Amino acid sequence: MNVILIGCEFSGKTTLADQIVKWSERNLGASSHFHDHFTIPSTELTGQAAAEYKDAHPQVKEMFQRFMITYHISSAFYSHADHNLMGLHIEEAVYAPLYYGYGGENSGAPTRSPRGQRTEMARRIEEEILKKAPRTVLILMKASPDVIKGRMRANTFPNPEIIKSQYLSKPFGEPTRGVVQEADVEFVLKRFEEEFEASLLKNKIVVDTTSATLDETLKEFVTKIHPHLSYFDQQRMQNIQTT
């Protein structure tokens, strides 16, 4: 199964990703954690390294992000039965011009910054994904602006070690939060919708967590993912059911 989860901070991506991993292990016999290394600073960096990367020159960030995204759609990853991603190119197209200082007009980076450059890059990334994993499912997580803002205010940034033990989808610990500013929530939600609609990926799902419980959200995912499961995934499910 190949899934890309996208959406604004606090739309429920990390929570659903963890449930997808558990569901996959129960129903497919195996799974992959969600690679979530694409929000600056990367979850793979801690302490001083994370701080220095966050404050790096836009050109440095642009180059690193471009390489990181390209690396995670390499053939080696798609040689596995499951390859799950969080944010990836869509998040980059939304956040880079707004928060990272490149990828859009007047962004501060002297190169690779025409209007919409990251959106153009996103389509090129999708062309490569379609060559390697044409059944990839793009899932847009969303919630109302008021709910997103409420979750932002209530967030307590749990201890990374607790996150590691609770979230199977987050092997590197606490997901990066605090990028999206409350005043930008409506705009960010709109931009994710635009990139989702513009995506070349053919299999698309929308999951709205505004009022849904965790169980309801998982059930919605399961219902909507079934038509997009490959023959191999369906066979894995049948093998589990008959054992």
Q: Domains in the chain, start-ordered, CATH in brackets? A: 2-241 (3.40.50.300)
pLDDT given at position 162: 45
Q: Report helix, strand or coil for 126.
A: helix
CA gyration radius for the chain? 18
Peptide bond into 158 cis (omega under 30): no
In the prediction, which pLDDT does 111 show?
54
State residue 158's pLDDT score: 44
Q: Which H or E element spans position 165?
A: helix 160-166
**Angle formed at CA 51 by CA 54 and CA 98, multiple of 5 degrees:** 20
Q: What is the number of alpha carbons within 13 Å of residue 9 lying toward its C-beta?
A: 25
**Above pLDDT 90, what percent of the chain?**
72
The beta strand positions in the chain, using DSSP E, are 2-6, 34-35, 83-86, 137-142, 203-208
Rounded Cα distance between 106 and 123, Å, is 22
pLDDT at residue number 32 = 86
Out of 18-22, 48-52, 163-167, 231-235, which region has the weakest mean confidence (pLDDT)? 163-167
- Of all residues in the chain, the percent with pLDDT exceeding 70 is 86
Q: Reply yes or no on whether the pLDDT at 108 is more than 60.
A: no
Mean pLDDT, all residues of the chain: 88
Residue type, 190: K
Which band of pLDDT confidence, cut at 50, 70 and 90, is reported for residue 240? confident
Contact 142, 196 (CB under 8 A): no
User: Which pLDDT score, from 0 to 100, does residue 122 have?
Assistant: 94
